[in-house]
Structure 1
Amino acid sequence: MMMQAAPIPPALSEPYEAFVKEPVQQPPEVKPADEDTQPQVEPENVLHDLTSVGRLCITKRLQVKSVLFLRGKKNRFLVRTQENNLIYKIQEQNSWWVGYFCYGLRPLQLHVRDGTGAEVMRIYRPYACTSRIFPCQLQRIQLYVTGPRVTISFFRDIQFHIYRTDGTAVGSTCKRWQGILHAMFFAPVSDKFGIAFERDLSVEEKALLLAATLLLDYMYYDV
């Protein structure tokens, strides 16, 4: 699956011309300063919340009311920093019927919104058939993640390590162990994940690793 973080472009203003009916006295011509000496204003990066972040904590919540009233199976994710500051809310959007028949394989869109409610990223996942016994068939993402041979574990977190194309490690993501009671009864409704990566990665790379963690949840743990 191809996931791409796409910043929303600012609106562009159209040029205009002013016309006058009578000639007026023109002010003296002022030569513009050299363009090289003009300060360049950089547009604000919509993913600036990820700039100095080295760890993220993700909490998943299944919208139970939506399932019970046959409005579709949709997840909601809350993304916090290590200091427990909420930076993103992620809402799943899909056709109402796919969650009941496709489960974790369902095609979907994830809308990522910041604290002001503005959408800063959108993750699109098309349908791709795969098996959880022999996973990763037809699932494509633009990074490399290696995980354990068995993706179900008891009494410990499940780690997935992330590497660049040259083999150097950039971080890891994991599914949190929350106790045997949670695993038996509450895992389909709520879950927790963690991401650790290098602080000097670009915000686009960090956003891609965030999207990869969400993909791992749908591939292995969403029921």
Structure 2
Amino acid sequence: MDFYDKQRAIQWTRSSDIISNSPAGLEHLVGVNQLIVCQRFDLEVPDCLKSSKTYEVMNNQGQRIYFAEERNNWFLHHLCGISRPFTLKIYDNVGQIIITMHKALRCTCCWSSCCLQKLVVKAPHGEEIGYVCQYFHPFLPKFKIKNKNNKDIMKIRGPCLVSNCLWDLNFRLLSLEEEIVIGNISKPCTSSVGGSLTDADKFRVQFPMDLDIKSKALILGASFLIDYMYFEVWP
């Protein structure tokens, strides 16, 4: 793969560190309660020529456990913006596809149910494990995380005003009753990152250590959907 050998200096998780008897590819999420996702930029390539967005997914120790890539249709990206359809694939350290995420083309008007965003998450590649669905609220960005049987398992609530130019952004992972905070998807304020483009598009995902790994994969999917809708940065 043309992206696989990029930035080889990043330390990958060793296979000997992984607990056995876990679903293939998702075992890196066992014993992890935090992921750091950082978009990578090639500053030598003009924006008009970019054909993909790439990310590194790292664990608590700063080890890269996954590499994510969205192959872009340049025309759709610039015509549709965050409404565009996309398929994002996550690879492990030997280049195998572990997770696939797909969002269909939908406009961003949250007043109509046909326009609310939905992400389909498949893991291993081709097997649906669940969905991330936006649902209507007049003031807040809200999402439901559903399992493969379309049953709600948790919710996400964002801030009333979404702008990370002025303050850190935090999207809370909540119980179905919205009374217990389970975790967090957050991104630092861009004015506090010292002008670093790499730090400017880095977000953090936190969840319980003992959460089942398919739910962790769905939360990771939710973080990418939120990134596309609210955090997206192009140099």
Hey, which of these two has a bigger chunk of strand by percent?
A: 2
Match of 1:56 in 2: 35
Matched length: 179
Partner residue in 1 for 2:106: 128
CA-based RMSD of the aligned residues comes to 3.1
Within the candidate set 168, 171, 178, 1:157 is matched to 168
Cα distance in 1 for partners of 2:231, 2:206 equals 20
CA shift in 2, pair 1:91/1:153, >3 Å? closer
Instruction: Report the equivalent of 1:169.
Output: 181
Q: Which residue of 1 aligns with 2:6?
A: none
Would you say the 8 A contact 1:94–1:107 is kept in 2?
no
1:205 paired residue number: 215
Structure 1 or 2, whichever has the larger Rg, is 1
Match of 1:46 among 25, 28, 52: 25
- Aligned match of 1:117: 95
Verify the 8 A CA contact 2:201 2:232 in the aligned structure 1.
no
Matched, 1:216 2:216: no
C-alpha change, 1:214 and 1:67, in structure 2 (3 Å) is farther
* Correspondence for 1:145: 156
| Percent of residue pairs identical | 26
Deviations 1:65-118 (A, max 9, x none): 66546354x311111012101001000023332112112221111110011111
Taking the TM superposition and a 5 Å limit, the aligned residue runs for 1:10-89 are 44-62=23-41, 68=47, 70=49, 72=51, 74-89=52-67
Q: TM-score, normalised by structure 1?
A: 0.69
What is the CA distance between 1:128 and its match in structure 2?
1.0
- Greater shift after overlay, 87-96 or 152-161? 152-161
Residues 107 and 127 in structure 1, CA contact (< 8 A), matched pair in contact too: yes
> Compared with structure 1, are the counterparts of its residues 89 and 42 closer, same or farther at alpha carbon in structure 2 (3 Å cutoff)?
closer
* 2: CA distance, partners of 1:116 / 1:151: 37
State the shift of 1:46 in Å: 1.8
Change in Cα spacing, 1:49 to 1:65, as seen in structure 2 (3 Å) is same
Q: What SS is found at the alignment partner of 1:209?
A: helix
- Greater shift, 196-205 or 170-179, is seen at 170-179
Unaligned ranges ≥5, structure 1: 1-40
Is the Cα–Cα contact under 8 Å of residues 76 and 90 in structure 1 kept in the other structure?
Answer: yes
Give the number of the structure with larger relative contact order, counting CA–CA contacts within 8 Å between residues 6 or more apart: 1
- Matched letter for residue 157 of structure 1: D
Could you say what secondary structure the match of 1:212 adopts? helix
**CA deviation after TM superposition for structure 1 residue 122, in Å:** 0.4
Gap regions ≥5 residues in structure 2:
1-19, 119-131, 133-143, 146-154
Note closer, same or farther for the CA distance 1:67–1:102 as it changes in structure 2 (3 Å cut): farther
Q: Structure 2 CA distance, aligned partners of 1:109 and 1:63?
A: 21
1:191 aligns with 2:169: no
Task: Give the corresponding residue for 2:13.
Answer: none
Query: Amino acid of the residue matched to residue 60 of structure 1?
Result: Q
Question: For residues 197 and 22 of structure 2, what CA distance do their matches in structure 1 show?
Answer: 43
